[in-house]
Structure 1
């Protein structure tokens, strides 16, 4: 069961990181395109601004699960270093619980916000609903849940171990 979940977690975290990297490529490509059209061709493409913003939002929310998986988002390094092994495991559970509560709030309100925003259209892209921008929050948060639980089952503390 543990190994099956960790395989699922590796796959989902890898997928979310791949999507985040693709969104970075899209944002930077559109940024270069915008520079060329605005300053070289003197015909600005306004639609690129909203797509850059949208891809950066998706990049952030799809990159966060990898940070949670590595234990880099919620860190209590000093307390962790000074604690005996049994207390460290209690700290792992407390951090996991706190992170899951926060992520649960993001999923709940992010989905609500996305549903409310579906009647809005994006400025510059009138045919695209704001739903696609807002839904990055709950989708990224669902990937985070898997990463948080994966970090609880198999903690990754590379930065903590090398700092000692």
Structure 2
């Protein structure tokens, strides 16, 4: 992998995972606040459940591209092990094009959807539904970005040590 490509992926991966991790930490705090208020103080505000749901969806989508690049997602690489090198290279190009195509399509479709729900407000937070729904196109765009910079190289696999 070229130096520029690896630096861009490294920085982009760090930023994505840092923001996603921060959102996950905030989500944990919101859930704990909701549990404390519900069971110890007598009643939780309605917004805690809704905010926790939006935060978990946003954190997963923001981390998806970085996880894809480092091979941390769930996949079965059996076919890649059985194919000859030339066909394996063709399979890698196919996987890359499929991932890139689906991620770009997901970006466009979810962006249109997020804009279409702008007239509705969320019940608990009282904000336009477009605001939390924008995590979908941003997440898909980041997946597209990471896949584009990664290129049609073989995907990394996580191997367990059996010792």
TM tier, smaller: 0.7 to 0.9
CA-atom RMSD in angstroms: 2.3
Alignment of 1:136-147 (within 5 A): 136-147=135-146
How far does the alpha carbon of each residue in 1:7-62 deviate from its partner, in whole angstroms, 9 at most, with x for none?
Answer: 11211121111111111111111111011111111032111111101101101101
Q: Which moved more, 1:27-36 or 1:84-93?
A: 84-93
CA shift at 1:153, angstroms? 5.7
Tell me the equivalent position of 2:96: 96
Alignment of 1:37-116 (within 5 A): 37-73=37-73, 75-116=75-116
- Stretches of structure 1 that go unaligned for 5 or more consecutive residues are none
Count the aligned residue pairs: 162
Q: TM-score, normalised by structure 1?
A: 0.87
Structure having the higher helix fraction is 1
Structure having the higher strand fraction is 1
Alignment of 1:140-159 (within 5 A): 140-152=139-151, 155-159=154-158
Q: TM-score, normalised by structure 2?
A: 0.88
Q: Is the 8 A contact 1:69 1:150 kept in 2?
A: no
